């Protein structure tokens, strides 16, 4: 009943399931087709997405089951398939996000060996023509900035999933993934050196982009660089016809939460981060 989703028809079914479960955050088939992960489709009305994550030894996993198909064993079967897939890949743990607006799903994963390890705050900023600006020292990413942007990413990646500790992939892998998934990126420069980096990524809708890691070297924090990077992103999004930007961050990242609040981002339902062994 569970198979790897490989055909376009299979992926379209996964998209339909996802959008039935999370209508507030819709996706399109290109997002799944171009991702690095694997989709496992259950004919009973659910699917699971599994991908290597930035947390060493762990996969990121998401199990989605249509509301009308729940309590029939579909979710349990998919979660077991996730565990098998992860073990076969040499991983020890899996982690994922559950919306705080979905207490049934939280009870489901907690009853199956997962534990809450943190919370992530999701915020949304509506974009209007003329928003944002590109300040001095903030420039759009060019080839000569790539190594510096990567070094900033390496320094800041461990902070993004706290208390889980993230880790940047090797440079070539990071470069390929960023080139494939990123819509635009900006860097902050200090005497020609990259000291900050922030990208925007497609979400599958023509209206919305998602912030990736907004990274500033520790030596250059509290100088307004994160705000300047996000204002440049706002300007680019407004100029290119986007109407929404969304961003996730760990609940304890008070600095970035304050930046987003000053820039007019409003909170959406938070996500509960859960993690568990796959053995």
pLDDT one-digit tens code per residue, 21-69: 988 778 888 888 888 899 999 999 999 999 999 899 999 999 999 999 9
Confidence at residue 206, expressed as pLDDT on a 0 to 100 scale: 76
What band does 159 get if pLDDT is binned at 50, 70 and 90?
A: confident
pLDDT beyond 70 at 4: yes
Host H or E run for residue 228: helix 225-239
Q: 15: which 2 tokens?
A: 């998209």
User: Residues for the chain: how many in total?
Assistant: 279
Beta bridge partners of 185: 199
125-269 CATH: 3.40.630.30
Q: 236: which 2 tokens?
A: 């680019």
Torsion sign, CA atoms 210, 147, 90, 165: negative
Mean of pLDDT values over 250-274: 91
Give CA–CA dist 251/163, Å, rounded. Answer: 11
Confidence at residue 166, expressed as pLDDT on a 0 to 100 scale: 82
2-91 homologous superfamily: Gcn5-related N-acetyltransferase (GNAT) (3.40.630.30)
Whose CA is closest to 265, among 99, 163, 131?
131
> Other CB atoms closer than 10 Å to residue 248's CB: what's the count?
16
Whose CA is closest to 229, among 217, 219, 240, 241?
217
What band does 210 get if pLDDT is binned at 50, 70 and 90?
A: very high
Mention every residue, 6+ apart, whose C-beta is less than 8 A from residue 172: none
Report the chain's mean pLDDT, rounded to a whole number: 93
φ, ψ of residue 251 to 5 degrees: the values are -60, -30
Angle at 117 between CA 116 and CA 123, to 5 degrees: 95
Whose CA is closest to 45, among 11, 22, 70?
70
Q: Are 75 and 110 in contact (CB under 8 A)?
A: no
Confidence at residue 253, expressed as pLDDT on a 0 to 100 scale: 85
Give CA–CA dist 207/246, Å, rounded. Answer: 11
Whose CA is closest to 230, among 261, 191, 267, 270?
261
Q: Where in the chain is the domain with CATH 3.40.630.30?
A: 2-91, 125-269
pLDDT beyond 80 at 158: yes
Mean of pLDDT values over 216-239: 97
> Other CB atoms closer than 10 Å to residue 43's CB: what's the count?
10
pLDDT beyond 90 at 12: yes
> pTM (2 decimals)?
0.80
φ, ψ of residue 242 to 5 degrees: the values are -80, 155
Residue carrying the six token digits 């559950």: 98
Torsion sign, CA atoms 28, 178, 24, 128: negative
pLDDT beyond 70 at 162: no
| Residue of higher predicted confidence among 161 and 271 | 271
Mean of pLDDT values over 150-165: 86
What percent of the chain has a predicted confidence (pLDDT) above 70? Answer: 99
Confidence at residue 180, expressed as pLDDT on a 0 to 100 scale: 85
């Amino acid at each position: 009943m569970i198979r790897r989703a490989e055909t376009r028809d299979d992926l379209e079914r996964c998209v339909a399931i996802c959008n039935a479960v999370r209508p507030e955050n819709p996706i399109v088939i290109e997002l799944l087709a171009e991702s690095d992960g694997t989709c496992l489709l259950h004919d009973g009305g659910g699917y699971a997405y599994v991908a290597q994550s930035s947390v060493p030894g762990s996969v990121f996993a998401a199990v989605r089951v249509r509301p009308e198909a729940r309590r029939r064993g579909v979710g349990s079967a998919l979660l077991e398939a996730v565990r098998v897939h992860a073990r076969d890949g040499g991983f020890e743990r899996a982690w994922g996000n559950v919306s705080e607006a979905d207490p049934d799903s939280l009870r489901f994963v907690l009853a199956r060996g997962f534990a809450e390890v943190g919370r992530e705050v999701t915020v949304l900023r509506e974009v209007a023509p003329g928003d944002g600006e590109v300040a001095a020292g903030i420039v759009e990413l060019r080839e000569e900035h790539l190594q510096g942007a990567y070094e900033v990413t390496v320094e800041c990646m461990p902070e993004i999933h706290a208390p889980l500790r993230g880790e940047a992939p090797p440079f070539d892998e990071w470069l390929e993934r960023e080139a494939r998934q990123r819509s635009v990126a900006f860097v902050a420069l200090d005497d020609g050196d990259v000291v900050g980096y922030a990208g925007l990524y497609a979400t599958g809708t023509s209206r919305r982009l998602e912030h990736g890691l907004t990274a500033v070297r520790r030596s250059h924090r509290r100088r307004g660089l994160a705000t300047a990077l996000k204002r440049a992103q706002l300007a680019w999004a407004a100029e290119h016809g986007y109407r929404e930007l969304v961003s996730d961050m760990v609940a304890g990242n008070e600095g970035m939460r304050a930046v987003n609040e000053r820039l007019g981002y409003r909170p959406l339902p938070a996500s509960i981060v859960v993690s568990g062994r796959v053995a």
